[in-house]
Amino acid sequence: MASAERRLAVVLFNLGGPDAPAAVRPFLFNLFNDPAIIGLPDPLRRVLARLISTLRASSARKNYALMGGGSPLLPQTRAQAEALQAVLAGRADGAEVKVFVAMRYWTPFVQDTAREVAAWAPDEVVLLPLYPQFSTTTTASSLKAWREAYRGPGEVRAVCCYPAETGLVEAHARRIEAAWAEAGKPEGLRLLFSAHGLPQSCVDAGDPYAWQVERTCRAVAERLGAGWEDWTLCYQSRVGPMKWLGPAIGEAIAEAGRQGKGVLVTPIAFVSEHIETLVELDRDYAEAAEKAGCPVYLRAAALGCEPAFIEGLARTALAALGREGTAPQGEACAGGWGQCPLRAEQGRTAA
């Protein structure tokens, strides 16, 4: 009798987004009730999450209405999963490959996907967050939820980050070049790499996110080469009165305007279109650029199913099979980042 085919499950993680107006408030509650987002104990965190989600629901629904009433994140992530599964199908040493999607704050929830994967009974599982740069507020939260939920078989390996993976870098460069070419290749542009913001307190506590985002930016700028030396890393989506990473994208746009420069904005920490790109970048900051006097405002598309990106995800997933535990694709974080999961895991092993 022929032996059963080996099964490889790859799980793509993302934050998720409301799929209808009625889902906006519960989605926001789930987001702000995560201890990785608001580090207060229950029940105080729950009370605060309920308050914030209630106060922000109305304005958020208006923004989601601009996108048809819900987030496009899930269908885009499913398209990425299908593309990745097609690439992996012939490269996993004869294994049957199935790619799953797990969202942190809306359906399909991590817990539901964990049950689906367990029912499929894989021999190996690769956890692959769609956050190229690690943060305690994204990757760590998703992986923690998975560890708490998964009770199925298989050797589980996790990818913590891939900030300079060649496919990721190539895909960003292609998106930037395409936006520039489509606009007629205007001169005098400043390239703005826009990443989702993070409270400075997280970085001070050892979160390597900002260091990794800058690493991605430098790799992309190097790939673009001559003519793209004028670039700035900036951050968007600040919430609350605490100090956040800077400069803010609005400040970077205003500075470019004062210098008479146009800007080309690329979402360097987002791999799919969602509210931060389709509303903040395409509407709010386009208006800010016009008011600032920028002669040109361009926005590169998020990576989506850009072939170079999907190829990079495939390489990353397959490379994870050759090791144990949690590790990056490529070099580990530089010293000093205490929240780096690889260093934390190595420390537990040594102890």
Profile the chain (351 residues) by mean pLDDT over runs of 10 residues.
74 97 97 95 96 96 95 97 95 93 98 98 98 97 97 97 98 98 97 96 95 98 97 92 94 98 97 96 98 98 98 97 91 84 62 45
> CA-CA distance, 16 to 64, in Å (whole number)?
13
Q: What pLDDT score was predicted for residue 350?
A: 46
**Predicted local confidence at residue 3, as pLDDT:** 43
Q: Which pLDDT does position 105 carry in this prediction? A: 98
Of 212, 206, 167, residue with least CA distance to 193: 212
| Nearest residue to 233 (alpha-carbon basis) of 258, 188, 198, 185 | 198
Q: Cα 315 from chain centroid?
A: 18
Q: Which helix (H) or strand (E) holds 96?
A: strand 96-103
Q: What is the pLDDT of residue 92?
A: 86
What's the pLDDT at 168? Answer: 98
CATH for the stretch 7-162+308-350: 3.40.50.1400
**Would you say 220 and 159 are in contact if contact means Cβ atoms under 8 Å apart?**
no
The whole-angstrom separation of Cα 111 and Cα 126 is: 16
Looking at residue 344, its pLDDT comes to 63
Q: Which two tokens stand for residue 76?
A: 């885009």
For residues 65 and 12, give the distance between their C-alpha atoms in angstroms, rounded to a whole number: 27
Q: Provide the sign of the torsion angle of the four alpha carbons 212, 330, 131, 42, taken in this order.
A: negative
Specify the amino acid at residue 243: K
- C-alpha span between 337 and 206 (Å, rounded): 4
195 strand-pairing partners: 235
> Which residues belong to CATH 3.40.50.1400 in the chain?
7-162+308-350, 166-299
Residue 346, pLDDT score: 61
Read off the tokens for 195.
Answer: 């990443």
Residue 274, classed as helix, strand or coil, is coil
CA 193/CA 256 separation, integer angstroms: 13
pLDDT at site 347: 55
DSSP code, position 43: T
In degrees rounded to 5, what are phi and psi of residue 15?
Answer: -75, -30
C-alpha to C-alpha distance for 283 and 24, rounded to whole angstroms:
20
**What are 252's two structure tokens?**
């970077």
Burial (CB count within 10 angstroms: exposed 0-12, middle 13-18, buried 19+), residue 10: buried
The pLDDT, as a whole number, for residue 9 is 98
Contacts 24+ apart (CB under 8 A), 282-291: 283/66, 285/236, 285/249, 285/250, 285/253, 288/250, 288/253, 288/254, 289/253, 289/256, 289/257, 289/263, 291/257
The pLDDT of residue 345: 63
How many beta carbons lie within 10 A of that of residue 40, not counting itself?
A: 12
Q: Are 282 and 299 in contact (CB under 8 A)?
A: yes
Residue 4 has a CB neighbour count (10 Å cut-off) of: 9
Place of tokens 């995560």: 34
Instruction: Give the pair of three-digit tokens for residue 283.
Output: 């509407």
Q: Are strands 297-299 and 262-267 parallel, antiparallel or unpaired?
A: parallel
Residue 132 CA to residue 170 CA, distance in Å, equals 14
Instruction: Give the pLDDT score at 2.
Output: 37
Looking at domain 166-299, its CATH architecture is 3-Layer(aba) Sandwich (3.40)
Whether 163 contacts 330, CB under 8 Å: yes
Whole-angstrom Cα distance, residue 152 to residue 116?
Answer: 9
Q: pTM of the entire structure?
A: 0.95
Amino acid 351: pLDDT? 45
Kindly compute the dihedral angle of the four CA atoms of residues 107, 52, 206, 210, in this order, to the nearest 10 degrees: 70
